Structure 1
Amino acid sequence: MDELDGRLLALLHDEPRVGVLEASRRLGVARGTVQARLDRLEARGVVTGWGPELDPAALGHPVTAFLSLEIRQAASGSGAEHGGHDAVAAHLATIPEVLEAHTTTGAGDLLVRVVARSNTDLQRVIDAVVASDAVVRCSTTIALATQVPYRTLPLAMAAGRSSGPAAGR
């Protein structure tokens, strides 16, 4: 990452539909430079997708909650269906309201972000999550407001500033 990569990512963040030619014009570099930078950022896994960002609230799911799950650990040599992270992850992947799940340290084994249509509907989502025999306990925290939404651009901009103009060459 360098300063040009950061400027390119900022432009794409602000205007995701801008084309390579227009990006090159706005950044003052050749079209081939922009395309090569994008290809490199994708190959390195910095850019992971080009799809639209969706708002769960606009899709009718304004309630966000975080579930901390304690899971039954798979016994050595036993099938994954009896417990463990993989079994629970496979189960969670079948529930549309599960937006993400992360293995964690501490009291819980998995932290799961879910959405629901209402607080009453949240109970249905939680019931679906804990329907797995591998889930031993669930603790729920309802988000009241989003103070800082999920973001990565500030991180990319800081990486571009810290690595200098010779980065990636």
Structure 2
Amino acid sequence: MDALDARLLVTMRAHPRIGLTELARLLGVARGTVQARLDKLTARGVIEDFGPTVSPAHSGYPILAFVWLQIAQGRLEEAVAALRAVPQILEVHGTSGQHDLLCRVVAKSTDHLQAVIAHVLTSPAIHRTDTTIALSSQIPFRIEPLLETTTGQP
């Protein structure tokens, strides 16, 4: 990824509904260049999607929790399959250290969160959970500072 790719991505993040012609104008390149770069970045998996970012909190799920899981030895696939079936689990990451998986979970209330966790624990592949509720978001997901290191900016 070069500086133009990074500028392209930063500009698209700043203006998610921008058209290709306007994007090309802002970057000072031809529309065809923008299209070719987007195609290349998409094919390489740098751009994962073009969908809207949906706020779970504004969609009726104001509780955000991070749930650490310890799973039964050799039962990772079974645990992941059980977690995949729970719609309130937005992400699951394999981790090193004391816990095996980290889940990003949303809920309608703390009672609902407790019910989601209780449901997760019905899987024999999952031994234990450790839950932390997020009280606020100090730095929401961002990629721009990382991309700007490619553009030569701070």
Normalised to the residue count of structure 2, the TM-score between the two structures is 0.94
Amino acid at match of 2:22: E
User: Is the contact made by 1:2 and 1:161 (CA closer than 8 Å) also made in structure 2?
Assistant: no
Alignment match, 1:8: 8
Alignment match, 1:85: 76
State whether structure 2 residue 135 is matched by structure 1 residue 144. yes
How far 1:20 moved relative to its partner? 1.0
Alignment match, 2:118: 127
How far 1:160 moved relative to its partner? 3.6
For 2:129, what is the secondary structure of its paired residue? strand
| Higher RCO (CA 8 Å, separation ≥ 6 residues) | 1
State whether structure 2 residue 44 is matched by structure 1 residue 38. no
Question: Root-mean-square deviation (CA), in Å?
Answer: 1.3
How far 1:3 moved relative to its partner? 2.0
Question: Aligned equivalents of 1:154 and 1:35: distance in 2?
Answer: 24
Alignment match, 1:65: 65
Would you identify which runs of 4 or more consecutive aligned residues in structure 1 move more than 2 Å?
A: 159-162
Amino acid at match of 1:59: S
For 1:58, what is the secondary structure of its paired residue? helix
How far 1:95 moved relative to its partner? 0.6
How far 1:35 moved relative to its partner? 0.5
Unaligned 5+ segments in structure 1 are 75-83, 163-169
| Number of equivalent positions | 153
Question: Aligned equivalents of 2:135 and 2:148: distance in 1?
Answer: 29
State whether structure 2 residue 76 is matched by structure 1 residue 108. no
Question: Aligned equivalents of 1:112 and 1:12: distance in 2?
Answer: 29
Identity %: 49
Unaligned 5+ segments in structure 2 are none
